[in-house]
Amino acid sequence: MNSSLSLALLEVGNLAPSFMVADACSKAANVRILGIESTDGAAQCIKLIGRVADVQAAAERGAALAKLMGSTVFYSVMAAPLELTYQLADAKPVFSPLLGSYDSRKPRENAMSMTNALGLLETQGLVAALHATDDMLKASNVTLAGKEKIGSAYVTIMIRGDVAAVQTAIEVGRQTVERLGGKLILADVIARPHADLASLLPS
């Protein structure tokens, strides 16, 4: 690792908020997302690399957004981390048979830039998430981008489409979860996801 580069680690509660925070970090300063790793619970660790002033600015912006969303957040900036520390942070994803997914999301090579908006709906419980997904897809011209489970019954639904369509769909999804009495973690839209974030999302 280049000794002039620094590493920022932000631990954010839940997957959907971590996507929002990672996008904000990428847009706040000249940093690169190494990945987002599950901490074996709801929390997700966002890993950023760049020059120390940039990773500090990005981490501060991300932490501020997480707090604004009411999410838990903890972060640290390491100036010129040891090569071994960098390797630990940049480890390959490990498949979890229990969740049926990998424990971390790393940027994919040659990932297409995402020009559409990204809608995120996260619930605790599958019933509300699936019912809300059906309602969202029926209510607006959006496509399903993915479904992710991170344990503790947390489910994140991702949709794509133009900004207005995604906003409409996410609002419908939010109303469905509330009508069913489900536990809503986040219902939000990223109008133009940063390329780094787009490279972490399901293709």
Query: Per residue in 135-174, pLDDT tens?
Result: 999 999 999 999 998 888 899 999 999 999 999 999 999 9
In this predicted structure, what is the pLDDT of residue 12? 96
Q: Considering only CA atoms, which of 46, 42, 24 is closest in space to residue 106?
A: 46
Residue 113 is predicted with a pLDDT of: 57
Q: Examine residue 46 and state whether it is found in any structural domain, yes or no.
A: yes
pLDDT in tens, 122-135: 999 999 999 999 99
**Does the pLDDT of residue 97 top 60, yes or no?**
yes
Closest CA to 111 of 193, 22, 12, 190: 193
Task: Specify if 106 maps to a domain.
Answer: no
What average pLDDT does this structure show over 75-95?
92
| Position 1 confidence tier, pLDDT thresholds 50, 70, 90 | low
Residue 38 lies in a domain: yes
93: how many CB neighbours lie within 10 A of its CB?
14
Residue pair 36/148 in contact (Cβ under 8 Å)? The answer is no
Task: Tell me what pLDDT residue 26 has.
Answer: 96
pLDDT at residue 18 above 90? yes
- Within a domain: residue 103? no
Partners of 1 in the β-ladder: none
Rounded distance, CA 198 to CA 183, Å?
27
Mean of all residue pLDDT scores within the chain? 92
Residue among 138, 177, 171 at smallest CA distance from 155: 177
Does 131 share its domain with 83? no
* Cα–Cα nearest to 151, from 73, 99, 95, 105: 99
Overall pTM > 0.85: yes
What is the domain range of residue 17?
A: 6-92
Tell me the CATH number at 43. 3.30.70.1710
Number of folded domains that form the chain: 2
